[in-house]
Structure formats: structure tokens, C-alpha cells
Amino acid sequence: MRPFLVMLFLLASGASAPAYSQSYLIKVTITGLHSDKGKLYLSIYNSEKGYPKDPAAAYRLTNAEIHSGKSTVLLAGIPPGTYAIACYHDENDNGKIDLNFLGIPKEGTGASNDAKGSFGPPKFRDAKFRLGSDTSLAVRINY
């Protein structure tokens, strides 16, 4: 009888089992870097707003060292959803992507799904992927 009373009390008080928020790890391996100079900058977006040009609109930003033309970035605690990744090789380590007079990057860039833009940066819809488990992605830098 006692367990029944406890359950009745919990139901009446609105108590419920704790809800656990699910999150995942994304391992991104970036290859094709021309040199180990500078840093690799990576941003992950959870909507097309600002992708890939506005770092302020990114869900998360990070940078990583480069070793032997390759960099690996671990993004932990990412909730399930739809995302797109953009990255660039900041060879001169000035904290920004350098552009030529036409606005074309002079430093290497890459995106998830190897998305490429035509007459501009890649679109979110081409770079997006669905996250529902721990995931490994490969991104190739293009110069």
C-alpha cells in the first residue's frame, strides 16, 4: 500500500522523472592544407542564417593547430539537429580570412559535404547534415 501512496503523491505533485538532454560528439578531420603555418578556423551553424560568412551567427566557433597538412577538431556537447560546417586556413594567422579584390578567398576554405559555391560561398542546404549520433566528418580544404 505504501508504494501506491508514494506514486499517488508524486503524480499529484507533478513530479516526473528527470529529463536528460541528449548531445553528441562531432569529429571533423580537415585535410588538404598547404602548410602547417597559421591555424585552422572552424564554425558550425544550426541554420542558414549567416552561413558561412557571419561568425557571429555560428552555433560554435573554434580553431585548431595544423600538423602535416591535417587538422582534427572535436565538437562535444552538440544537441541533435541539422548543422553545416565551414572552415578556413588562416595561413598568416591574422584571425580573418583574406580576400582578393574580387572578394574571393586567398586562403583555403572548406565545408561539410564538400559543398562548393558557384559565384559565392557554398549554401547551407548543400553543406547541411543531420546529427543524431556521434559523427565523424571529413572536410577537404580547397585553395
Residue extents of the structural domains in the chain? 22-140
- The total of other beta-carbon atoms located within 10 Å of residue 134's CB is 12
- For residues 62-91, give the mean pLDDT: 98
At 132 the three-state DSSP class reads coil
Residue 9, pLDDT > 50, answer no
pLDDT band at 128 (very low <50, low <70, confident <90, very high): very high
Contact 72, 28 (CB under 8 A): yes
Residue 83, pLDDT > 70, answer yes
- The total of other beta-carbon atoms located within 10 Å of residue 56's CB is 7
42: which residues sit within 8 A by CB, 6+ positions away? 28, 30, 61, 62, 63, 64, 73, 85, 86, 87
Residue 135, pLDDT > 90, answer yes
pLDDT band at 11 (very low <50, low <70, confident <90, very high): very low
pLDDT band at 100 (very low <50, low <70, confident <90, very high): very high
pLDDT, tens only, 13-54: 444 444 557 999 999 999 999 999 999 999 999 999 999 999
Percent of the chain with pLDDT over 70: 86
Percent of the chain with pLDDT over 90: 82
Q: What value does the mean pLDDT of the chain take?
A: 89
Please give the pLDDT value at position 4.
45
17 membership: H or E segment, kind and range: none
Please give the pLDDT value at position 2.
55
**CATH class belonging to 22-140:** mainly beta
